[in-house]
Structure 1
Amino acid sequence: MKVLKFGGTSVANAQNIKLVLEIVEQKSKEDKLIVAVSAFSGVTDLLISAASKAASKDDSYRDVVLQIEKKHLEAIKELVPANEQTALLHYCKKNISYLETLLDGCYLLGELTARTSDMIVSFGELLSSYIIAEAMKQKVANSSFKDSRELIKTDTNFGKAEVYFELTNKNIQNYFSEDSTQVTVIPGFIASSSNKNTTTLGRGGSDYTAAILAAALNVTELEIWTDVNGMFTANPKIVKQAQPIEKITYEEAMELSHFGAKVLYPPTIQPVLSKNIPIWIKNTFEPEAFGTYISSESNPNGNPIKGISHIDKISLITLEGSGMVGVAGVSKRLFEVLSNHSINVIFITQASSEHSICIGILNADADLAKTAIDKIFELENSQQKINPCVVEKDLCIVALVGEQMKNHQGISGKMFSTLGKNNVNIRAIAQGASERNISVVINENDVKKALNTLHERFFEEQTKQLNLFVMGVGNVGEKFIEQIHQQKKFLKENLKINLRVIALSNSRKMVFDEEGISLKDWKTDLDNGEKTSKADFIEKTKALNLRNSIFVDITANTEVSKTYEHYLRKNIAVVTCNKIACSSEYDNYLNLKRLSRKYNAPFLFETNVGAGLPIIDTLKHLIASGDRIHKIQAVLSGSLNFIFNNFSETYTFHDVVKEAGVQGFTEPDPKIDLSGVDVARKILILIRESGYQMEMEDIENISFLPKECMETKTNEDFFKSLIKHSSHFENLLKEAKEKDCRLKFVAKFDNGKASVGLQFIPKESPFYNLEGKDNIVEFFTDRYVDQPLIIKGAGAGAAVTASGIFADVIRIGNV
């Protein structure tokens, strides 16, 4: 014999019930079955609503009754042939009439007692089970209906009645020992007291009904049929990568169900555990799927973590004071007063000094709990021996669950470090002596990030998901997105990094997609996005609160550079090619570095100098290894090098600057490059990364541009001025040829002084043969004295700059 329970969306409508009938029909060919069913989906809520409305003198409860009646009549018409509906319709209308009578009484009296409430909500199961029983006869002729109130007996604790197991077991055994039907349909959730008043078994009571029947009859198996493929490693609605758990122990299942795994009601396990009856959780809509098998068997060689679960809407109550130390009975008084007010304690932790006790309860009970606790310790409060209790609301408990956790070292360390790296603050910690559960209390706003981060750490083969928020999709930004799209599969397979672009923004539009923007159609999505707002972009990014979030700035915008602090404070990494922040006031530069360390949010800006060249990274390694920088000489502008390498008697200065812009080598405002400001920013960043304090105004900028060119306000006027002063540039070129030199814009740092300017470079210099858009940097250090450390390569261009940004993102992924 087997007991099967169907509830939720499995009995949502006639179409789904037909699937249930097919499953039962197939299984009845092999075993005698008892089928416990819940109310049709949504009906219990409608019944509760109707009762509440009636008790508050709102006569719209009658409309709710009509909804309930319509739902059941429609099911009858679809499930049972017309010529066999008469008796069933009569049963349904009779019960609906009785329901109306009860609700009318509530309306007249203006009150709803617990006893009446139980009677009202029982109609959901009574109607659904009777309809399904009649429909079952169309599939299995030898089937019947049995009212569970005649079998399961309880006390009169209406709403969550306690079962009298001795009497209940005897009733069940006596009835089924004489019952010869192949399938018996029984309503879940409901029972009756000794004086035949209808009672209910509390939330998830249909599961409990099934377990009570299974244990009383010592059946071979209890099957809980639902709308998912078993218990999952985490809530699949929050963690998209969650996987069904194939096998789990009773104890592990109880822990997970206690901590919010809603597939199984916690008390369900108790009756069958002592009888060692396996529970199989199956999916009505995918009956061939394995599901979750719950038994006493554990797997010592598998993953010690079976699942990650959580309970939300939690409050922490802390009671502390010197008057608690060494005083017997404080804990007793605390928990006794909570018990007297029917307040369930979900979480407990106590300092070893006995100076404080911290408990977790539901938010809904927090105010009552504080009032009750402060009253019971009123004397100690007045004597300042114990402080008034402190309440923190809107928290969440997250738990790692696994039978074999006790045999594996370092699990709690991995849990805490994983949460810490994502700036998830842990408010309290508890671990039972059985080591089957490690629980932490965190802010409710962090639960999604915490669950996904932990799931990634313990279940996803160390695949790390990076969530990118990209601002700036011009030439470099477009190349960056292309490179992500091209390398996404490679990164996942080889580096175990899953890159997702969550947000994109240009100067006009921005678009967000929590599941990741399709990189095939990102331009269309962006065009259809909302109006760009830097403030809204920040707030949306923070509100999503995704793990491993990275803000990627691919602009040259001053205002964008001022937003980095907001991201870093929220543990959102910043990757930028925008040089403005790191070349701003020294205090701001230091503050961003400090925030990065404090909030464990990487701040990477390799592309600030040399585009994709590993200049800053190399410099960091030199400093970290104990080397010291004395002198830097460099050609740091790929655009200026391109310009002076291509400037000739046949190719005017104006034309070559135009071409540099077309190829994406210059900033949108080319004057930033030609004025030397861009180079000055770069050498300043290298100086600061070398450990020296310096401001932008400390760098001598020897401009080669005529004053009129520098004073132009628009790009159009600037290019006109280049034509006007063409002879000035031709004279520079002529002088270089006469000296057998080449023109290079050079940055220098030596003995605490820095300068940038155009120089005539002789043939013997390593700078002389620097071609195209290449950069070159020479570091003179304690270790590199006579021969400097040289880094040379392409220092401009959309593709190489994008690759440098990409490399910084990968660095974060490898942390």
Structure 2
Amino acid sequence: MKVLKFGGTSVGSSKNISNVISILENYGKNDAVICVVSAVGGITDKLLLAGKQAQDKDRAFLDTFEGIKERHFNIIKELNPSNNDSILSYVEENLEALKSLLEGIYLINELSPKTSDKLVSFGELLSSFIIAETMKNRGLSADRKNSQELVITNSNFTKAEVDYSITNQNIRDYFKSAKQNITILPGFISKSRIGEITTLGRGGSDFTAAIVAAALHVEQLEIWTDVSGMFTTNPKLVKQAYPIDKISYQEAMELSHFGAKVLYPPTVQPVLSLDIPIHIKNTLEPDAVGTVISNEYIKSSSPVKGISNISNIALLTLEGTGMVGIPGFSKRLFETLSQEKINVIMITQASSEHSICLGIDDKEAGNAKAAIDVAFENEIALGKIEPIIIETGLSIIALVGDNMKNHQGISGKMFSSLGRNNINIRAIAQGASEKNITAVIDEKDVKKALNTLHEQFFETKTKQLNVFITGVGNVGERLVEQIKQQKKYLKDNLKINLRVAGLSNSRTMIFDESGLDLKDWKTQLANGEKASLQGFFENTKALNLRNSIFVDVTANKDIADLYAQYLRESIAIVACNKIACSSDYNNYKELKRLSLKYNAPFLFETNVGAGLPVIDTLSNLIASGDKVNSIQAVLSGSLNYVFNNFNDSTKFYDVVKQAGAEGYTEPDPRIDLSGVDVARKILILARESGIEMNLEDIENTSFLSESGLKSDTVDDFYETLISDEAHYQSLYASAKANNCQLKYVAKFDNGKASVSLQEIPEGHPFYNLEGSDNIVMFYTERYPKQPMIIKGAGAGADVTASGLFADIIRLGND
């Protein structure tokens, strides 16, 4: 004999009921089947609403009643297109009784617990009758037995206590003589010893099924619902969540206590005591494996079995020096809450006894505060304790697993992964059995927290990075294309799941928390919402995704001014924009401080040398205890390109224009040609070497003509390049006469820095520097005579994009 229970969603429509019937028909071929059913999905709530409306003298109860009637009639007609008269007649008769009951409530203006039980019992009575009669019409050996004739309780209405001696005997006697293959039982409903209609409270249909299964000592209880078992976490919030094949009773109860709604633990106590396994199955996917809950020891590769959460939590804190060493405070506190029928979900107490924190449903926070303040009125008046502190808008998250106690570092992994994602923990509790670790966090962080913890404990070491890129011009476009090209490689080989969640140019911006489809990102961006620097930040912050990275591919000061906001939200920054790191020294240090404080990496390798590992190499030298004595460098790929291609047979204007077309200069070439860009780079290297310095401290000897320096616009500047050709030719002629090459050189020595155009003689390491290459020579205490040299392409969209990409990957490997 098998016992199956189908919940409200499983019998919520004619289509779903047909699925249930098919499942029962298949089971009934080989064995006798008992099927416990809930009311049609949503009907219990409608019944309670109608009762409340009637009690409140609101004639809308009639409209609610008509909706209930129409719902049942439609299901009957869809299930039984013909031969439905007898079903409709019975249901209509019962609905008239329901209507009379509602009118009575309306007249006396009262809805007692006793009447409420009678009211909601109609749901299960109707659904069970409809299902049983439909099965008969389809030629199946089925019948309905009213559970009120089997399950006997006391008169504690809305949550009656079962008299097991009578109930168990009733169930055994009935099924000993039952002839039908399939028996349909309404769940949830019962009767008292004196014949009054009662109900079994929350999870009542599960309870009915458990009572029957225990009374008959069946091998297994099956609970059919709309999900394929208990999941590792909430699949609506975590796409990677998956069903748990096997789980212990204790683990299932812990997960259920902390929000997993598949099972209500108190209702399965009858089968728990008899070691009868519970199998959670999916009505909509009957072939899915589901979850088996039992007392059997289950060996698992992961000590954590699941992650659960409860939303809408209020945290109450009772604290004061007058509590320390004084017995009785906890007793009075819990008695006060008990008298108000307020359920305590979580408890934690400081070892100093200075404070006690309680987690409760936030709907009860007001009543709890009022009651506690009254109970401790005298102590509050004397200053021994503070008035109760209430924090709302919180949620509880919990790691659950029987084997957690045998594994070190679980809590460390939990809290460090949450901390890396700026998820603040308000309170922590851990049971003595070590089956769960519980934390209270802000409600807005729940989705991020569940995804973060699921990635940490259940996914195959794959780290998800969520990238938000602003500036998708020349370099930004190449970066997006590189990400698109390498996405599969990163996931397969580096275990990094890299998603672009936001894109922006100067006109439009787009976002997708699941990751943008990069196949047609340009079209999506063209149709995006109007771009806004602050709006891009607010959207990034609001999505609140784990491992978020803001990538700045601009030279925009206003964007650099927003870095602090991103870091304060624990959003990492990867930037080729040099403005922030070359801004006022105090701002540079503040960004570094915020990066450490909020555990938000701030990477800017491409500030110097594009894709060359200049800053990373310098950082490693400093971290290992070396000290920089001096730096000599050619740091502008654009200027190197210009002077490598300029000679007495070319025009300076044409070479600069070509450099811009090749992507070597900024849209405003004055940034490069004025030397400001190189000055920023040597400033950044000096600062990364540990020197306090500002941009104005750098000596910048410009090679531009006087009219070029004074030009107001880009167009005006280009005009000066034409008119002042002789000036630039004279620079080339001087270098040629001295058998030298023109290179724009940056120097740092003895705490001073300079940038200038220099004539480099043959034999010097800079002399043969080709194309747009950069070179940096570090003279340090360990490299005093032969410098450490880094050389390679220092400009261009592809190499700059690859440098940004490398920084992003570095974050994925942290």
Question: How does the TM-score come out when normalised to structure 2?
Answer: 0.98
* Cα distance, 1:140 vs structure 2: 5.5
- 1:21 touches 1:139 (CA, 8 Å); kept in 2? no
Give the distance between the partners of 1:738 and 1:622, measured in 2 at CA.
40
Q: Does 1:47 align with 2:47?
A: yes
* Cα distance, 1:118 vs structure 2: 2.6
**Equivalent in the alignment of 2:466:** 467
**Equivalent in the alignment of 1:605:** 604
Q: Does 1:73 align with 2:70?
A: no
Letter paired with 1:65? F
Give the distance between the partners of 2:622 and 2:337, measured in 1 at CA.
59
* Cα distance, 1:725 vs structure 2: 0.9
**Equivalent in the alignment of 2:2:** 2
**Equivalent in the alignment of 1:520:** 519
- 1:634 touches 1:777 (CA, 8 Å); kept in 2? yes
For 1:224, what is the secondary structure of its paired residue?
strand
**Equivalent in the alignment of 1:800:** 799
Once the two structures are superposed, the pairs formed by residues 198-217 of structure 1 within 5 Å of their partners are 198-217=197-216
Letter paired with 1:692? I
**Equivalent in the alignment of 1:559:** 558
**Equivalent in the alignment of 1:367:** 366
- 2:25 touches 2:140 (CA, 8 Å); kept in 1? no
RMSD: 1.4
Identity %, equivalent residues: 64
1:214-242 per-position Cα deviation (integer Å, ceiling 9, x unaligned): 11211111111112111000000011100
Give the distance between the partners of 1:399 and 1:111, measured in 2 at CA.
41
Give the distance between the partners of 1:410 and 1:138, measured in 2 at CA.
60
Give the distance between the partners of 1:158 and 1:365, measured in 2 at CA.
22
* Cα distance, 1:416 vs structure 2: 1.4
Once the two structures are superposed, the pairs formed by residues 168-247 of structure 1 within 5 Å of their partners are 168-247=167-246
1:125-173 per-position Cα deviation (integer Å, ceiling 9, x unaligned): 2211111111122445321111222222233333333333333222222
Once the two structures are superposed, the pairs formed by residues 266-305 of structure 1 within 5 Å of their partners are 266-305=265-304
**Equivalent in the alignment of 2:632:** 633
Number of paired residues? 814
Once the two structures are superposed, the pairs formed by residues 430-509 of structure 1 within 5 Å of their partners are 430-509=429-508
**Equivalent in the alignment of 1:382:** 381
Query: Which moves more between the two structures, 675-684 or 30-39?
Result: 30-39
* Cα distance, 1:451 vs structure 2: 0.8
For 1:225, what is the secondary structure of its paired residue?
strand
**Equivalent in the alignment of 1:30:** 30
- 2:605 touches 2:804 (CA, 8 Å); kept in 1? yes
For 2:344, what is the secondary structure of its paired residue?
coil
Once the two structures are superposed, the pairs formed by residues 623-662 of structure 1 within 5 Å of their partners are 623-662=622-661
* Cα distance, 1:81 vs structure 2: 4.7
Give the distance between the partners of 1:8 and 1:644, measured in 2 at CA.
78
**Equivalent in the alignment of 2:105:** 106
Give the distance between the partners of 1:798 and 1:319, measured in 2 at CA.
59
Letter paired with 2:182? V
Q: Does 1:706 align with 2:700?
A: no
Query: Which moves more between the two structures, 677-686 or 162-171?
Result: 162-171
- 1:397 touches 1:439 (CA, 8 Å); kept in 2? yes
Once the two structures are superposed, the pairs formed by residues 322-361 of structure 1 within 5 Å of their partners are 322-361=321-360
Once the two structures are superposed, the pairs formed by residues 687-706 of structure 1 within 5 Å of their partners are 687-706=686-705
Give the distance between the partners of 2:224 and 2:437, measured in 1 at CA.
29
Letter paired with 1:303? S
The 3 A distance-change label for structure 1 pair 676 and 453 is same
- 1:634 touches 1:778 (CA, 8 Å); kept in 2? yes
**Equivalent in the alignment of 1:253:** 252
The 3 A distance-change label for structure 1 pair 286 and 652 is same
Letter paired with 1:66? E
* Cα distance, 1:109 vs structure 2: 3.6
For 1:439, what is the secondary structure of its paired residue?
strand
* Cα distance, 1:702 vs structure 2: 0.7
For 1:500, what is the secondary structure of its paired residue?
strand
- 1:298 touches 1:403 (CA, 8 Å); kept in 2? no
**Equivalent in the alignment of 2:141:** 142
**Equivalent in the alignment of 2:131:** 132
Query: Which moves more between the two structures, 191-200 or 87-96?
Result: 191-200
- 1:25 touches 1:139 (CA, 8 Å); kept in 2? no
1:733-752 per-position Cα deviation (integer Å, ceiling 9, x unaligned): 11111111111111111111
**Equivalent in the alignment of 2:305:** 306
Give the distance between the partners of 1:180 and 1:15, measured in 2 at CA.
28
**Equivalent in the alignment of 1:678:** 677
Q: Does 1:118 align with 2:131?
A: no
Query: Which moves more between the two structures, 406-415 or 58-67?
Result: 58-67
- 1:80 touches 1:134 (CA, 8 Å); kept in 2? no
- 2:229 touches 2:244 (CA, 8 Å); kept in 1? yes
- 2:248 touches 2:298 (CA, 8 Å); kept in 1? no
For 2:586, what is the secondary structure of its paired residue?
helix
- 2:319 touches 2:386 (CA, 8 Å); kept in 1? yes
* Cα distance, 1:642 vs structure 2: 0.5
**Equivalent in the alignment of 2:546:** 547
Q: Does 1:769 align with 2:768?
A: yes
Give the distance between the partners of 1:602 and 1:110, measured in 2 at CA.
64
Query: Which moves more between the two structures, 763-772 or 407-416?
Result: 407-416
**Equivalent in the alignment of 2:63:** 63
The 3 A distance-change label for structure 1 pair 531 and 568 is same
Letter paired with 2:132? A
1:283-314 per-position Cα deviation (integer Å, ceiling 9, x unaligned): 11221111101111122353211100011111
Give the distance between the partners of 2:670 and 2:473, measured in 1 at CA.
19
Letter paired with 1:288? D
* Cα distance, 1:600 vs structure 2: 0.4
Give the distance between the partners of 1:245 and 1:535, measured in 2 at CA.
43
Give the distance between the partners of 1:541 and 1:44, measured in 2 at CA.
41
1:488-507 per-position Cα deviation (integer Å, ceiling 9, x unaligned): 11111111110011111111
- 1:679 touches 1:756 (CA, 8 Å); kept in 2? yes
For 1:82, what is the secondary structure of its paired residue?
coil
1:335-360 per-position Cα deviation (integer Å, ceiling 9, x unaligned): 11111111111101122222222111
* Cα distance, 1:194 vs structure 2: 2.9
Give the distance between the partners of 2:638 and 2:603, measured in 1 at CA.
23
- 2:206 touches 2:268 (CA, 8 Å); kept in 1? no
- 1:25 touches 1:140 (CA, 8 Å); kept in 2? no
1:74-127 per-position Cα deviation (integer Å, ceiling 9, x unaligned): 1111212522x1121011111222222222233334443333333222222221
Give the distance between the partners of 1:89 and 1:53, measured in 2 at CA.
26
Question: How does the TM-score come out when normalised to structure 1?
Answer: 0.98
* Cα distance, 1:244 vs structure 2: 0.6
- 2:5 touches 2:222 (CA, 8 Å); kept in 1? yes
The 3 A distance-change label for structure 1 pair 433 and 653 is same
**Equivalent in the alignment of 1:538:** 537
Once the two structures are superposed, the pairs formed by residues 147-158 of structure 1 within 5 Å of their partners are 147-158=146-157
After the TM superposition, list the runs of 4 or more consecutive aligned residues in structure 1 that deviate by more than 4 angstroms.
Answer: none
- 1:743 touches 1:759 (CA, 8 Å); kept in 2? yes
Give the distance between the partners of 1:114 and 1:673, measured in 2 at CA.
81
For 1:516, what is the secondary structure of its paired residue?
coil
**Equivalent in the alignment of 2:587:** 588
Give the distance between the partners of 2:564 and 2:156, measured in 1 at CA.
56
- 1:144 touches 1:181 (CA, 8 Å); kept in 2? yes
* Cα distance, 1:444 vs structure 2: 1.2
- 1:449 touches 1:545 (CA, 8 Å); kept in 2? yes
Query: Which moves more between the two structures, 347-356 or 582-591?
Result: 347-356
